Amino acid sequence: MINKAPRGPAPAGEGILAKTNEAVMNSKELTDRSSPEERILVAAAEEFAANGFFGARTQAIADAAGVNKAMLHYYFRTKENLYGHVIAGALRRILNQVGQAWLSQDSVEARLEKVVDAYMDNYERNPGFLKIILREFVDGGERFRKVFRDLKEPGPLASGLTLPQIMDRIGSELGLSLAQTTHLIVNVVGMCAISFVSPLLLEALGHFKVADLNLYLKDRRVAVKSMTLAYVKNLIRGSRKE
């Protein structure tokens, strides 16, 4: 919920930071049971999220992963290659879940809601990924574009479909053009992402403060789902009139 300032137990910024710290603590618990390669990827995600590509240090990543720099370079060769693996891994997890959601036997409405959940779940579990993406766009986004281009070319995701095939399937079943399908995906991605940034914006306005981040994000899920369903129904009605 959104409460009027100045009441509220904690600033929104602290809530987001706490969620990021919680994700870091959970990832550190996993490192004891992971391979060196997996530990390097976890440590790299945290380092890149905290300091960006240019500020991240491979020595800090190696130390956090409990390996030496020689082993880090053995697995990933360069800092840029490691950065690409971090982004590609996060994107692939999201796209796998989105593809599986759309291939389910549920109604169109239920599948659209699952797609929203796929994005919200992944952003919530990996808040550092949003930081990496925001920094990447500030830096021009060339590394992100390269990763995304490469991600379209390999074989199918866990869902059995490639990214273009997922978009084709969504558009075909809903009777949407490629442009309409693209806008649908952009709307979902954007509304989910802004859910994690908006508490800071609301607090900056000085009139509202998010008192309970988890409750706020739960409410945002409901709102995003409602707006997505309304948008799709409006598109379908428009297509039928034509």
Contact at 8 Å (CB) between 130 and 196? yes
Taking the complete model, does pTM exceed 0.85, yes or no?
A: no
Centre a 10 Å sphere on the Cβ of residue 82 and count the other Cβ atoms it contains.
Answer: 24
Identify whether the C-beta of residue 44 lies closer than 8 Å to the C-beta of residue 126: no
- For residue 220, the SS3 value is helix
Residue 185 is given by DSSP the state: H
Q: List the beta bridge partners of residue 4.
A: 208
Domains and CATH numbers, the chain: 2-241 (1.10.357.10)
Q: Using one digit for the tens of pLDDT, what is the confidence trace for 139-184?
A: 888 888 888 777 665 556 776 777 788 889 899 999 999 999 999 9
pLDDT at residue 10, rounded to an integer: 42
Comparing 23 with 79, which gets the higher pLDDT? Answer: 79
Strand partners, 2: 210
CA 97 to chain centre: 11
What share of the chain has pLDDT > 70, as a percent?
Answer: 81
Question: Rounded to whole angstroms, how far apart are CA atoms 74 and 3?
Answer: 51
Q: Mind listing the pLDDT tens digit for each residue in 106-150?
A: 999 999 999 999 999 999 999 899 999 988 888 888 888 888 777
Percent of the chain with pLDDT over 90: 52
Please report the pLDDT score of residue 4 as a whole number. 35
